[in-house]
A and B are shown apart, each in its own frame.
Chain A
Amino acid sequence: MKEKRGQVEVTFHWIYILIAGAVILLFFAGIIVKQKVSFEDKLGEDIVQILDSILAGAGVSEKTKNFVDVGGLSDYTFEFRCEEGYMGFGIKGGAFEDLPISPVFAPKEIKTGKLILWSLPYKFPYKVIDLLMVSSSNTKYVVVGNEFDTFYVELQDMTEGFNFEFVNDLNEVDPGKNFHVRVIDLKGNLGGSGIPATLQELGDEQLSAISFSPGNVVTYFQKDGDDWEQGETVQIISIAEEKDAAKYAAIFAGDGERYMCNMMKVFKRMKYVTEVYAGKLGELKEHYSVFGVPNGAICQSILEEARQSVDIVFERLKGKVSACDDSEDYLSCSDSRMTEPASELRELNDQLESCVKLY
């Protein structure tokens, strides 16, 4: 009887130890799991924040290319989006950072150990904002065009450091082990052709193209099996004669929708910058209207009388910029009514040689 009681006591003792051990183990396992989840979330947020800082810095360093080693992040796929209520970038399926006002032109997705950031000022005719182009060492750009074409030559100079290849025939292209390949057709005849055999092995999401047509128009294409699927056709709104930031932005933008969405951010900023320049113009006119100011008469005549008065040109530009911003529609901005007053203002500014210039 006594022996049986002892046996029960020992068994009970062990069961008690097992339950207590299991409870303690579960408690710590719970803490570890919770910590792991919160650590992963935090890591995602930290990565996005670091990238945001890099983009903010690169966005204001005019005309500079930044090569950022992000080897530690090469396992993550970053996505860049720009659509209603979802403008920004983030880790695919993870943390996301809003970029409601910064125009960032990037491929739809990037998975790389080296980011390439390039900032170019957009002038209309004064500087409005810096456009930030984002690319990577494994995003390849294949340019097909005439080697005597001005833009072709400029591209060769400007894109040093990027993964660019200039070819005469698309069949010469080796896609290599790149994450994405973008064909840039400067001849404007991509639409009628199929996808070259050398590029057919790439997945649909891995190959895209843009084709420039006369009149500063660009059409986006995406690989769809053996053919090109045509996307948006977009008018490039710019008065730049060279190093056209809006044109370069079209090359780096993921697709037409993203391009237009980012350019709308530019027009929004243009409205406020234009308002500041209107204030400067007012002060300039007041200054030159005072008797005895050096070159006052000449400068006043340019400001007041030359061609149509600067005021009218300026008001027209302001009106167009505001209308374009209010419409939230890129197509309503893409006509000569936007570019004409800006070009006129540039000419007037050039005439102010012996005077204080507007910009």
Chain B
Amino acid sequence: MKKNRKAQIRMSETIAVLFIFFILVVFSLIFYYKYSEVSFKEEQAELMGLRAMDTTLKTLFLPELICSQGKAEPIDNCFDLMKLRHAAEEGVFNKYLSEYYFDLFPYTKITIEQLYPGEGESWVLYDKEKTKQLDDGLMVPDWKNKESTYFVVSLRDELNPDNEYSFGVLTVEVYG
């Protein structure tokens, strides 16, 4: 009787040790999973920020928009309104999206707004939102985060010598 009881106690001990061991393993796995999830999200946010900066930089130096000066260096952070108007009105960037510009600006919206002087005119140069198609054929947005960067630029309108330069803001929204 005494021997049986001793064996039962030892058995319970072993089960308790195993139980605690597996509880620790499960806790460690949950902790690791949560940590990986958080660090993955942080990394994604960092990458989106980097992509937004890269896209802004690329936009600022676009030969399609920059203020050229013949053989001299182009003017920094300046867009030529004649080129800008044509690119926006004809939708050049979206027209050649699949052929070329998607590789330059994936899932991005690029807007330029004239601030002063002017009538607050705004041009959407490029817009490619991340979307998905539902079973019923409806297209819905397929992004969770949006990173926006703003950059002050000058806008040159050579056809208006009295007010050749104006201020504007370049907005780059990156979908992730």
Check if B74 sits within 8 Å of A127, measured CB to CB.
yes
Do B63 and A273 touch across chains, with their CB atoms under 8 A apart? yes
Contact B57–A276 (Cβ < 8 Å): no
Q: With contacts defined as CB atoms under 8 Å apart, how many contacts are there between chain A and chain B in the complex?
A: 74
Interface status of B66 (Cβ within 8 A of chain A): yes
Write out the residue numbers on chain A whose beta carbons fall within 8 Å of the beta carbon of B54: 53, 56-57
From A53, A57, A283, A356, B85 is in contact (CB under 8 Å) with A283
Q: With the chains together, A127 CA to B83 CA distance in Å?
A: 13
- A126, A283, A359: the one contacting B159 at CB < 8 Å is A283
Residues of A within 8 A of B57 (CB): 56-57, 60
**Nearest chain B CB to A356's CB is how many angstroms away?**
4
B148 partner residues in chain A, CB cutoff 8 A: none
Tell me, yes or no, whether B87 is within 8 Å of chain A by CB. Answer: yes
Q: Are A53 and B63 in contact (CB under 8 A)?
A: no
Q: Is B73 within 8 A of A279, CB to CB?
A: no
Q: Would you call B158 an interface residue if the criterion is a C-beta within 8 Å of the partner chain's C-beta atoms?
A: yes
**B54 nearest CB neighbor, chain A only:** A56
Knowing A127-B66, A349-B70, say if A280 contacts B103 (CB, 8 Å): no
Q: Which residues of B contact A100 (CB under 8 A)?
A: 103
Interface centre among B61, B63, B92, B158 (most CB of A within 10 A): B63
Bound-state Cα–Cα, A49 to B50, Å = 10
Docked complex: B63-97 residues within 8 A CB-CB of A = 63-66, 68, 70, 73-74, 80, 82-83, 85-87, 90, 92, 96
**A329 at the A/B interface (Cβ < 8 Å)?**
no
A272 to B92, CA, bound (A): 8
Chain B CB within 8 A of A275 CB: yes
Chain B contacts for A275, CB-based, 8 A: 90, 92
| B11 sits at the interface (CB 8 A) | no
A60 with B63: CB separation less than 8 A: no
Q: Does A357 touch B at the CB level, under 8 Å?
A: yes
Give Cα distance in the complex from A350 to B65, angstroms: 20
At the interface, is chain A mostly helix, strand, loop or mixed?
Answer: helix
Interface string of A255-283 (1 = CB under 8 A from B): 00000000000001100110111011011
For chain A, residues 192 to 213, give those with C-beta under 8 angstroms from any C-beta of chain B.
none
A130 sits at the interface (CB 8 A): yes
Q: Are B92 and A276 in contact (CB under 8 A)?
A: yes
Q: Is B41 an interface residue (CB 8 A)?
A: no
CA distance A359 to B82 in the complex (A): 11
Report yes or no: A126 in contact with B63, Cβ–Cβ below 8 A. Answer: yes
Contact A283 B82 (CB under 8 A): yes
A127 touches B70 (CB 8 A): no
Query: Which B residues touch A56, using CB under 8 A?
Result: 54, 57-58
Q: Can you offer 25 A-B residue contacts whose CB atoms are under 8 A?
A: A53-B50, A53-B54, A56-B58, A57-B54, A57-B57, A62-B61, A127-B68, A127-B74, A268-B100, A272-B100, A273-B64, A275-B92, A276-B64, A276-B86, A276-B87, A279-B85, A279-B86, A279-B87, A279-B90, A280-B82, A283-B86, A284-B159, A349-B70, A356-B159, A357-B70
Ranked 7 nearest A-B pairs via Cβ: A279-B86, A60-B61, A356-B158, A280-B82, A127-B63, A276-B64, A359-B68
- Residue numbers of B with Cβ under 8 A of A are 47, 50, 54, 57-58, 60-61, 63-66, 68, 70, 73-74, 80, 82-83, 85-87, 90, 92, 96, 100-101, 103-104, 158-159
Given contacts A57-B57, A276-B87, 18 further A-B contacts (CB under 8 A): A53-B54, A60-B57, A62-B74, A100-B103, A127-B66, A127-B74, A268-B100, A272-B101, A276-B65, A276-B83, A276-B92, A279-B82, A280-B82, A280-B83, A283-B85, A284-B159, A349-B70, A359-B70
